[in-house]
Structure 1
């Protein structure tokens, strides 16, 4: 893989999003519950990142950590789905295949509200771990089938935990995917040699920082942080520069009552600025970019 440290080189394409705005906003809801590694599910080790770092040995069952994840689909998802409906915000779901298989009613309900479901791998794991294209392709097919069974539509976008393998993008292109989001290097989509559109994601405007010691503690901290990002990118957009802001959430994180105000208030702020933004699903952003910047 060759690193590109230049990108657009400051010469941004002159494009507007479909509603005429220069700034697009993507709201992502990650659906990973049931796809995290757990010994009780036959995985070789347990997921360690949760409300606290797990102290259970790798080869022993960790029901507490599993229950922390399960809260997302049992309780958090419904609270968040109601807020998305209340504020009329379209979202993209990054759904793992095993999560789609195990919590199909949750994913079906979100999809019925019009949200896009993208593939987040079969398990919540880095695709850089795969040793062969065949093994990775088999899991992509398995995940795609589970998502299609739950939502009625095959995924056309992709994002995995960590990093892709050297052959991930070619595998996606062969399967008819439109975009990948394993990129953190720009404020605008761009094209990949595989033919995919790269719709970059972001880890700073992301509620995972509630789980990091240098991150958010109170809901207002995330609201303020995302609002500052909106202000900066909106000012650049009003100066004529096309931009994209990504905001990431997780069912088990902001689905919790004490953190839910961060989700609700950010959605409210997006709704308040709706006439100056294009709030869209990632598949729509990828297709719009492909059409506007051939």
Structure 2
């Protein structure tokens, strides 16, 4: 039986006050994956099937339709996102796949030049749990890290892969100098990993991938309402002294489409209206502040024990 922590902080989560005095930190995440999804046309064994429709192209054949659905995100969606983020003065974290960056370095540079964080999303848009060889995973992680740094001038300090990490991912990230990982869906607050990494949890429910799931969102307003409900619940809990984080995930090819983009503008404008009640932050900022707060709390405990 695998070792699993089903307890976490329990009834006594740490009291984290974010830099602006609020207790709720919200991070906007935009996924930059276009060109890194598996495609037979790119030499991959199979083509990605998750998209606007279920692909009917037989396995082993090039799926140009699916390629084009992804390309819409980088050709059109990206510019909608950058404009909306600028208008609302929203600091975002972009999860960047290495192969996507290597193919479109100018786009990756534009993202960072606009003031956003470049985090590593793996070399390909695939689960790291699928790696059976540690050396292969280490090589792809290195390739992705180097591609992002070469294109943006920013060495990524955070990581998140599709699906699940492998048994070795976190130790490799720590060895490579990463600060945090976000492959965690089990808490509202960051926590420490034995590897030395800070774990900054990610939310899959407040994520536009639910437009691609039958039990998810259909209209843009549904995602706006859902996110609003989440933030308002956390703010109610904050009044009682409970701290939390929340991530809101977008994809260039999903919410970059005209019918869904009102979800982006609606959410960003709503978050901007809560200035002072929430801390809009990039994920590396959340990780650093949590680590510093934890060190300070530990120091106070030690000082109290001495006195």
- Equivalent position of 1:213 in the other structure: 214
TM-score, scaled to structure 2: 0.95
Structure 2 residue aligned with 1:53: 54
1:289 equivalent to 2:294? Answer no
- 2:170 is aligned to 169
Instruction: Tell me whether 1:62 sits opposite 2:91 in the alignment.
Output: no
Counterpart CA distance in 2 for 1:27 and 1:10 is 28
8 Å Cα contact 2:15/2:242 also seen in 1? yes
Q: CA RMSD in A?
A: 0.7
Alpha-carbon deviations, 1:153-194, whole Å to 9, x = none?
111100000100000000000000000000000000000000
Indicate the larger mover: 42-51 or 235-244: 235-244
Aligned length: 294
Alignment match, 2:26: 25
Q: 1:1-294, aligned counterparts within 5 Å?
A: 2-294=3-295
Distance 2:86 2:240 in 1: 32
Question: Residue 250 of structure 1: CA displacement?
Answer: 0.3
- Return the index of the structure with the highest Cα Rg: 2
1:24 is paired with a residue of what secondary structure? strand
CA deviation profile, 1:26-80 (whole Å, cap 9, x unmatched): 1000000000000000000000000011111120000000000000000000011
Runs of at least 5 residues in structure 1 that lack an aligned partner in the other structure: none
**Residue-by-residue CA offset, 1:121-169 (whole Å, 9 max, x unaligned):** 0000000011121110000000001101111011110000010000000
The equivalent residue for 2:303 is none
